């Protein structure tokens, strides 16, 4: 998919809507995320904090849960916003989570422009690498 084919404004609106539902009483930092799925659906998620801090859920986690709960598929474009509507870069843990459920070359709107999942998580390891390994082992 080409970045110009993505309705980034619509994805940001969905992310802002999700951000408005965030549960962030401890950090006071609501986050919303939205992504386009390969079948045309848009899925979204928000952060959900917890008094023990470390067990809070990032917006990306909620988004992937929504993806799975609504039929699965592969993510092709992603954006994430803060409480002011500013674009956020997913943390490393969330980049890995997104990679696991991305189409090859998934696009992310980042603070430094649109990038592919491979650019924001170089040399990643996930389902595609496991499939390549299995294929090479089977042909040996």
Catalytic positions, written as ranges: 60
Task: Indicate if the alpha-carbon torsion angle 75, 77, 82, 85 is positive or negative.
Answer: negative
| Residue that is written with structure tokens 């401890």 in the block | 26
Q: How far is residue 92 CA from its own chain's centroid?
A: 11
Distance from C-alpha of 129 to C-alpha of 140, rounded to nearest angstrom: 17
Q: Is 104 helix (H, G, I), strand (E, B) or coil?
A: strand
- Outline where 28-77 has alpha helix (H): 59-69
Q: Which of 69, 74, 110, 84 is nearest to 31 (CA)?
A: 84
Identify whether the C-beta of residue 108 lies closer than 8 Å to the C-beta of residue 101: no
């Amino acid at each position: 998919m080409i970045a110009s084919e993505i309705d980034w404004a619509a994805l940001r609106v969905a992310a802002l809507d999700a951000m408005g539902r965030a549960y962030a009483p401890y950090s006071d930092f609501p986050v919303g995320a939205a992504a386009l799925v390969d079948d045309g659906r848009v899925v979204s998620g928000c952060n959900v904090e917890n008094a023990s801090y470390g067990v809070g859920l990032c917006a990306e986690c909620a988004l992937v849960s929504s993806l799975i709960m609504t039929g699965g598929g592969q993510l092709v474009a992603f954006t994430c916003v803060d409480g002011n509507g500013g674009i956020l870069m997913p943390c490393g843990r969330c980049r890995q989570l997104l990679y696991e459920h991305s189409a090859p070359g998934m696009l992310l709107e980042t603070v430094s422009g649109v990038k592919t999942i491979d650019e924001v998580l170089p040399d990643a390891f996930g389902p595609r690498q496991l499939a390549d390994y299995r294929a090479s082992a089977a042909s040996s």
